[in-house]
Structure 1
Amino acid sequence: MGQGIDTELKRNLSNRHMQLIAIGGCIGTGLFMGAANTISLAGPSIIFIYCIIGIIVFLVMRALGEILLSDLRYRSFVDFVTELLGPCCGFVLGWSYWLCWIVIGIADLIAISGYTQIFYPNLYSWIPALCCIAIFYILNRLTVRIFGEMEFSFAIIKILAIIVLILVGIFFIVTGFRSPSGDVTSVKNIWNHGNLFPNGFEGFLAGFQSATFAFIGVELIGTVAAESKDPEKNLPKAINNIPLRILMFYVFSVMVIMAVIPWQSINPSKSPFIMLFLFAGLPAAAAIVYIVVITSAASSTNSGVFSSSRMLYGLARLNKAPAFFGNLSKHSIPINGLRFSCLCLLTSVILLLFNNKSIIEIFTLVASIATIISLFTWLLILLSYIQYRKKHFHKHMSSFFKLPGGYISCILCIIFIFFTLLTLMIQFDTRMALYIGSAWFIFITFCYYIVTKSKKKSKIILLSK
């Protein structure tokens, strides 16, 4: 595709795109597929876990929103992290966030392959992953508006699925539905007859590292803002609706699931949304939910393709990535970043080809790595907010979209992030992910200093000539 004369991304996303992309960022594979694992670890206390993480996510997004709206030249959080915390932090964050979306995409493609095999057990597991990569590459290379329309449609499907699940669950509770196995649906199942922490405090802590993955992607609002028509109106609205969405889609949905299915009966390797309908003896409805879960994973992968290509574009503009990643197509798409990101997603095909472990084991490891990088992203956003208050105090005072609680909220969020990282040490799979994540940060920091040193040598040679 030929290159156009434009060097800037276009603001082609409308308010409805922003709102639905924000909702889609709150509802992903981590909820549809990962909620069962969190319930098995924490039991009924998952309700408190989702509420606590939801508050933290909202505050982090408010800090993000205040900084982005303070200067509309910021195209993503990498821009303001580079300015406020320095080029090294910007380099490490940009490449880490790119990797985060690649890892999320790999996890989602693995999930799609696993669920597709339920309908086509004889199909090679790598085929669905390869097909998805090809489809999203073709669609994302057209216009950003097509991405907006795809996410708009995906989000509506996810919203309708959760609403139907909640309504069906409420019907079961009101009518005292009895499952084919003899279990009676009751609100008492939610509270486990008074025992909210059945696996003790350790189980409650372990639930945080699993639940946090469900919220990864909400910061996509900050990336999409660069291509929104009216960010000063659309961004605050999208962020301010986050608490209601979390209450609706996370808290209410898991409460309904645990009312219908006693939490001890929930299989951690299966989607609780599918299990609810199977538990109720409705296999046809469960089959429909399977399709919704696949759609959710596809939506997350699509967001990853979009976000990772934009991140490479942003890094190229800041001279932190090869210049060709900054090239735009005639439709203002960062085409080289898109190609490279899709090429990296082919790792999922390789994993599925040569895998000896179960799909859920690979998913857990990959998801944990993505969680670590996402927490690092939130941490740098918060540290940037502290610097923003110091360096641009007048902008903060004149802001119409301030972070509630200011410094206090910021410090509490930072404490929570370190607390969640410590919980990753509890289980073997997540502990391995923590080691891999730490190795990545060391490696990419080393790369920054190598690149910086090479640039300095090049300048010295040019000057001497």
Structure 2
Amino acid sequence: MAQFAQALARGLTVRHIRFMALGSAIGTGLFYGSAAAIQAAGPAVLLAYAIGGAAVFLVMRALGEMAVRHPVSGSFGQYASRYLGPFAGFITGWTFAFEMAIVAIADVTAFGIYMGFWFPDVPRWIWILAVVCLIAALNLMRVKVFGETEFWLSIIKVAAIIAMIAGGAAIVVFGFGLPDAANPGLGTMLASGGFFANGFWGLLASFSIVMFAFGGIETIGITAGEAENPKKAIPAAINTVPVRILLFYVCTLGVLMMIFPWNQIDGETSPFVQIFDTLGIPAAAHILNAVVITAAISAINSDTFGAGRMMYGLAQQGHAPASFARISRHGVPWMTVATMTAVLLVGVVLNVLLPESLFLIIASIATFATVWVWLMILLSHIAMKREIARKKLPASEFGVPFWPVASYAALAFMVFVVVLLGIMPDTRVALIVGVAWIAVLFVAYHFGIKGKGHVRAELVDETGRDGETAQRGRTDRDTGTGAVRPEYIDG
């Protein structure tokens, strides 16, 4: 079935990566998770998305600078190894894979909930099992098929968001579908307690869901190893992040809360579907349900891709089983796809056992893993910048704006979010699970990886080159694993 190869097939174009970036910002966190965020903060959730989005943009610029300089598979897991040490790379790579696995379970859970809008009598796990099989098939095809799938799914999501903003604005102005006594606009948004309806504490409580919504956006960095021209594709995708956050989150949720009282959003289905169903606009709720289903499939597809490519990179460094570096005849790491499929099947079981409370628990745990990965990206970037200055290396072609103040501010914010997870009773389980996960990785590294004599990875500085990765690998003969492990060097 499979050939053994040392490199993934390069098949992702600028168009693919740009729309993957678009798609990563429109998923379960917006279409379903936003209900919990709105319930926690009220209209102030718009401020939470703006603040969180600004911090995420700085993380993405830090990742982008490293990805353009070192376009490799495994991305930030390898950057952490290079600039912070092998253990940092091990813990970062596996925590990202854990994040993607947890987010994928949340996404398949949301998919089952969406299908329940049309088929309330069909058990949720049946739909989840079906979508797991579909995603496995898509991810075993050539990476170009994955890119094309994400491209078209993202177009559907983007078009739907723009249509909702336009339609919502028309409802605010003309009152279509609203009762005569309705007061669309700021009157409806602020009617139930004002902007800070649940106080400052409510704003803080929303951050766990808000940051979950942005989770997975760092997958853009993973694509560098399969991009045809990473120096062009990565910056083009990352620079659209601020506009996407303002458009997809702040504008969209703002319009929704102007036409529907925020305190009546119940979270039983997507708030988008609930609102347009309540307004009685013919077929609008069904069209939106089809859109959110599309968004869920796209998100699960992207989660599986990101986790698989990270595990492939870990295998190259000797931080994962050598079988994860096996490449199929389509240029895809098929063992990692199989592993993620098994994880998603666990999600099927969890939805049978915990159908009501699963989403919030999973979202909180995913938030911890997400923020931890972002912390490691920022720390790796800071260490890289210090090395560039110390060794007087050429400046980066895609640097972080307002360095170093912006980077340290983003770092402080991420630490703040981790502390919040422990303070809030509903999300404290996320910190407990997160600390336990880090402890497991510590034990696994020190007893299973450290001291095995694995070869360092080779990370060539691409500054001033044509954008094609100069990554090379060789077999670790000392351990007998046969894994391809890049050795880092500065160009």
Equivalent position SS for 2:52: helix
Q: Which residue of 1 aligns with 2:155?
A: 156
Q: Which amino acid aligns with 1:31?
A: L
Moved more, 437-446 or 170-179: 170-179
1:283: Cα distance to partner? 5.3
Mapped pair 1:199 → 2:198 = yes
Q: Which amino acid aligns with 1:2?
A: A
Mapped pair 1:414 → 2:387 = no
Matches within 5 A, 1:184-223: 184-192=183-191, 195-223=194-222
Q: Which amino acid aligns with 2:440?
A: F
Equivalent position SS for 2:225: helix
Matches within 5 A, 1:40-439: 40-73=39-72, 75-177=74-176, 179-180=178-179, 182-192=181-191, 195-282=194-281, 284-355=283-354, 357-358=355-356, 361-393=357-389, 397-439=394-436
1:71: Cα distance to partner? 2.6
CA change 1:193–1:2 in 2 (3 A) is: closer
- 1:244-279 per-residue CA deviation (whole Å, 9 max, x = no partner) reads 111111111011001001222222443221122123
Contact map agreement 2:65 2:399 (CA 8 A) in 1: yes
Contact map agreement 1:113 1:129 (CA 8 A) in 2: yes
- 1:386-425 per-residue CA deviation (whole Å, 9 max, x = no partner) reads 1101222367752221101112111101110111122223
- 1:184-217 per-residue CA deviation (whole Å, 9 max, x = no partner) reads 3223323448822111111011111121111111
Contact map agreement 2:16 2:151 (CA 8 A) in 1: yes
Q: Which amino acid aligns with 2:29?
A: G
Contact map agreement 1:312 1:321 (CA 8 A) in 2: yes
Structure with greater contact order relative to length (CA < 8 Å, sep ≥ 6): 1
- Tell me the distance in 2 between the aligned counterparts of 1:352 and 1:425: 25
1:352: Cα distance to partner? 2.1
- Tell me the distance in 2 between the aligned counterparts of 1:186 and 1:461: 66
Q: Which amino acid aligns with 1:209?
A: S
Give TM-score scaled by structure 1 length: 0.94
- Tell me the distance in 1 between the aligned counterparts of 2:430 and 2:72: 35
Moved more, 420-429 or 189-198: 189-198
Q: Which amino acid aligns with 1:3?
A: Q
Q: Which amino acid aligns with 2:116?
A: Q
Q: Which structure shows the higher helix fraction?
A: 1
- Tell me the distance in 2 between the aligned counterparts of 1:94 and 1:413: 21
Q: Which amino acid aligns with 1:266?
A: I
Contact map agreement 1:112 1:294 (CA 8 A) in 2: yes
Gaps of 5+ in 1: none
Q: Which residue of 2 aligns with 1:3?
A: 3
CA change 1:168–1:448 in 2 (3 A) is: same
- 1:305-364 per-residue CA deviation (whole Å, 9 max, x = no partner) reads 111111111000000011111010111100111111111111111112333x51xx2011
Contact map agreement 1:178 1:185 (CA 8 A) in 2: no
Q: Which amino acid aligns with 1:22?
A: A
- Tell me the distance in 2 between the aligned counterparts of 1:290 and 1:177: 20
1:81: Cα distance to partner? 0.7
CA change 1:268–1:395 in 2 (3 A) is: farther
The count of residues paired between Structure 1 and Structure 2 equals 458
Quote the RMSD (CA, aligned, Å).
2.2
Quote the sequence identity (%): 39
Contact map agreement 1:70 1:396 (CA 8 A) in 2: no
- Tell me the distance in 2 between the aligned counterparts of 1:296 and 1:436: 28
